[in-house]
Amino acid sequence: MKRRALAALGLMVLVAACSPTGEEKEQSGKERVVPKMDMQEAADRADKILDDTFAAITPPVQWTHRQTMAGNCSTDRKRTVMTIISEERRSAFLGVVDRHWRSKGFTFRATSKDKLSAYYWTPDGFQVNVQIGWKGQAHLEVTTPCVDPSDVAAPTAPPNGHDYSKQPPTAPNVTSDFWSVKAPAPGASATPSS
């Protein structure tokens, strides 16, 4: 319930931040300029963010696309991890994503009280988040800024594993010699924080 409320709050912040001039302001007053693009181009950029993020996760995890949610001027791209991430390795997984996103210049925005969700902004106005959900299943999502309306096609990147894009994914069901181990990862860093 708390995760749903936090996700709804994140969406409200995104909608409130959209402006017709293509500029968004962070609470610090720093402006973020959204490049001129349509919804398909923004969806392609979101796919690239997700591709780069999964390429940074080593050893690799299996993932599947989730349904694209296209609104009037923004789009969500979602991927769900099918690899079992043990409770002891969740912090390490979140740490890998956090370090990658910060290395790309993404701004950390918030984390949930249980430290299992973290939210960021890209310099060009995309909202990205990672969360560990039911049974430890990881989800990554990119929400585009408000851009020029257009049709949006499904993602073209093949999933890394079974394709659940046309059905609800099951609980994570792929065992990893690294991510599924019930012991903390050597040298694992803490979960995301400001």
Cα–Cα distance between 159 and 156 in angstroms, integer?
9
Q: Is 20 part of a structural domain of the chain?
A: no
Q: Is 36 part of a structural domain of the chain?
A: no
pLDDT above 90 (res 144): yes
Q: Is 34 part of a structural domain of the chain?
A: no
Cα–Cα distance between 155 and 157 in angstroms, integer?
6
Q: Is 190 part of a structural domain of the chain?
A: no
Q: Which domain holds residue 3?
A: 1-8+41-185
Q: Is 194 part of a structural domain of the chain?
A: no
pLDDT above 60 (res 1): no
Note the pLDDT of residue 68: 86
Say which CATH number the domain at 53 has. 3.30.2030
Per residue in 101-126, pLDDT tens? 999 999 999 999 999 999 999 999 99
Q: Is 193 part of a structural domain of the chain?
A: no
Q: What is the 3-state secondary structure (H, E, C) of the chain?
A: CHHHHHHHHHHHHHHHHCCCCCEEECCCCCEEECCCCEHHHHHHHHHHHHHHHHHHCCCCCCEEECCCEECCCCEEEEEEECECCCHHHHHHHHHHHHHHHHHCCCEEEEECCCCCEEEEECCCCCEEEEEECHHHCEEEEEECCCCECCCCCCCCCCCECCCCCCCCCCCCCECCCCCCCCCCCCCCCCCCCC
Q: Is 87 part of a structural domain of the chain?
A: yes
Cα–Cα distance between 153 and 140 in angstroms, integer?
19
| Reported pTM | 0.81
Residue 87's contacts (CB-CB under 8 Å, 6 or more residues apart) are: 136, 182
Count of domains observed in the chain:
1
Cα–Cα distance between 163 and 153 in angstroms, integer?
17
pLDDT above 60 (res 20): no
Per residue in 52-74, pLDDT tens? 999 999 999 999 999 888 999 99
- Single-letter residue type at 22: G
Q: Is 26 part of a structural domain of the chain?
A: no
Note the pLDDT of residue 167: 86
